[in-house]
A and B are shown apart, each in its own frame.
Chain A
């Protein structure tokens, strides 16, 4: 090992030689510092009685007051329950894109397969606003497609968007409809990397198509699947704001209030900055801990990990 001075001189030389690369990194680093790292300092708001006039530094400390307020509020168990139900429900649908990828992989590479893939990606490009708008139109029990379908059989259609008990189902399955094709891309890619000689060897051994799926394709997908699953679990309490917020109405309110919509409402709509930040921080920390735990478990069991 060289002396400290020499190695830091070496580092400086290396940096100097590649100054162009640092210049290329500069915009991304600066933007991250300003809009990702600087707000982290603002987390302090959660522990203070924040007043806009005083600013973050000058506002008086409040300790864990706002966390306690949240834990004692009736919205605590409700928002967490709703968030968990939706995210665990979504987690159950995790294998569907994998099944789709296995199907596509079994199709002969021809026009039909290309058409199938193109169509299955398409709904992914619909914006959340339009998607919820579509649901409002199509799921309407009186005038929508679903309403018409039910009246065709002389039955009364359920009000899918105005129902508390069906909210999570409508949310999750509309998501599957919209993103299943897109989510399958990564698995199709993983399957295309399978060495063809494996299939040949299996054929020689008398394996059927099902055997090849079962003993070659599925094991090949495992590493990719586990990596994505870790990411999903890490975001367990991070159900997206946009779609839920747009789907909310007075009728489904009890089961559609989740952590992120609650943070938005108390924070930006009723200006309780400190309270909202406390709820948000609680959410972020739980997610972060979950991610670390799951990653650790996965490292032990399957040797797959994010870091």
Chain B
């Protein structure tokens, strides 16, 4: 209640004014909110309409609210690039396999750590948390991966870095707060072991946290770029993001930068593709998230707040 004493002091005799100041605040609030929405949405919306527009109209600044010179050429050009589809296939594979591995590793560890009767619980928590703040660094990690013969393999993209300490902490807190201890005691009396209790009772009760962690891990894999840059040489293993960099940022097509006319053509095609490639690469992952959003309240929020 100490929090409220200043209010009492300051608000003497102000009660009448409050109603009008409240409605002023309401108006200001919604004006700012709408401006904020515009700043957030417009660049995204612009990419969408630009992807359907004639590239010279976009470059000339004639595209503002609606597509101009409607065309699907950017998307058609996209279809012809086999390396984008190889990247797409690889990213989907990495995302599916990597998310499954990540969920198994992190959820099971988190559950074990959430149990108060786990001997050595404190030490084990510290064992994981320490890696959040201290690590061997780029070169030693690179050499380790190479020593295990994982350099330039499928496995390097899904296995070595699947332990997410932050994920474990959030999931552990979720289990601590939402799986009552009595449940385990009751199950034990019925002769149920830890593993069966975990798979048969805990997991079905934890859909929210599984969905949320699954989304986080999947987004991480879908957007992953650094590991691929460092550990993959074989172009047939390259994920979408690595190929996107060539198209979007360094502006190189698979044929490389040729000379004269060929280079001109490549540049024009690259410019046309840029907008559509952004859409094709981003829409899938954005489509997943609204379905998971309803779990945020149960999942993340419980996990995060009571940490």
Contact = CB atoms under 8 A, between A and B. Distances in A.
Contacts of B109: 24-25, 27-29
Interface string A249-277: 00000000000000110011000010011
Contact of A129 (B112, B249, B285): B249
B219 A34 contact: no
Given A21-B118, A206-B18, A193 B305 contact: yes
B139 A133 contact: no
B142 A145 contact: no
Interface stretch (A69-77, A81-89, A113-121): A113-121
Contacts of A106: 25-26, 29
Residue from the set B17, B26, B282 with the largest chain A CB neighbour count within 10 Å: B282
A266 to B, nearest CB: 10
Contacts of A35: 141, 144-145, 160-161, 163
Contact of A125 (B43, B139, B289): B289
Contacts of B223: 125-129
Contacts of B281: 127, 130
A215 B289 CA distance: 35
Give chain B's interface secondary structure class: helix
A282 B278 CA distance: 38
Interface string A12-35: 001100111111110111011011
Contact of A121 (B4, B17, B289, B304): B289
A143 B140 CA distance: 43
B58 interface: yes
A206 B12 CA distance: 8
Contacts of A215: 3-4, 6-7
Contacts of B138: 263-264, 267-268, 276-277, 280
Given A129-B241, A138-B46, A284-B135, A208 B22 contact: yes
A21 B140 contact: no
Given A119-B37, A128-B225, A130-B244, A11 B119 contact: yes
A158 interface: no
A18 B118 contact: yes
A14 B118 CA distance: 8
A42 B139 contact: yes
A23 B111 CA distance: 11
A138 B58 CA distance: 11
Contacts of B14: 206, 208
A190 interface: yes
B148 A31 contact: no
Given A36-B131, A39-B137, A205-B7, A116 B118 contact: no
A287 interface: yes
Given A37-B131, A242-B226, A20 B195 contact: yes
Contacts of A210: 21-22, 25
B300 interface: yes
Interface string A220-231: 000010010000
A268 B141 CA distance: 12
Interface residues of B, number: 102
A47 to B, nearest CB: 12
A92 interface: no
Contact of B4 (A122, A177, A202, A242): A202
B189 interface: no
Interface in B274-298: 274-275, 278, 281-282, 285-286, 289-290, 293, 296
B137 to A, nearest CB: 4
A299 interface: no
A227 to B, nearest CB: 8
A151 B201 CA distance: 63
Interface residues on A, range: 35 or more
Contacts of B32: 103
Interface string A195-209: 000100110011111
Contacts of B6: 215
B33 A107 contact: yes
A240 to B, nearest CB: 9
A78 interface: no
B301 A122 contact: no
Contacts of A41: 136, 140
Given A128-B225, A202-B4, A284 B115 contact: no
Given A32-B163, A106-B26, A120-B37, 17 more contacts: A18-B118, A24-B111, A25-B109, A29-B127, A35-B145, A41-B140, A42-B139, A42-B140, A107-B30, A119-B37, A185-B296, A207-B11, A209-B25, A241-B226, A273-B143, A280-B138, A280-B139
Interface of B: 1, 3-4, 6-8, 10-12, 14-15, 17-18, 21-22, 25-26, 29-30, 32-33, 36-37, 39-41, 43-44, 46-47, 58-59, 61, 104-106, 108-109, 111-113, 115, 117-119, 124, 127-128, 131, 133-145, 148, 159-163, 168, 193-195, 198, 219, 222-223, 225-226, 230, 241-242, 244-245, 247-249, 274-275, 278, 281-282, 285-286, 289-290, 293, 296, 300-301, 304-305, 307
Interface of A: 11, 14-15, 18-25, 27-29, 31-32, 34-43, 45, 56, 100, 103, 106-107, 112, 116, 118-123, 125-130, 132-134, 136-138, 142-143, 145, 147-148, 151-152, 177, 181, 185-186, 189-190, 192-193, 198, 201-202, 205-211, 215-216, 219, 224, 227, 234, 241-242, 246, 263-264, 267-268, 273, 276-277, 280-281, 283-284, 287-288, 291
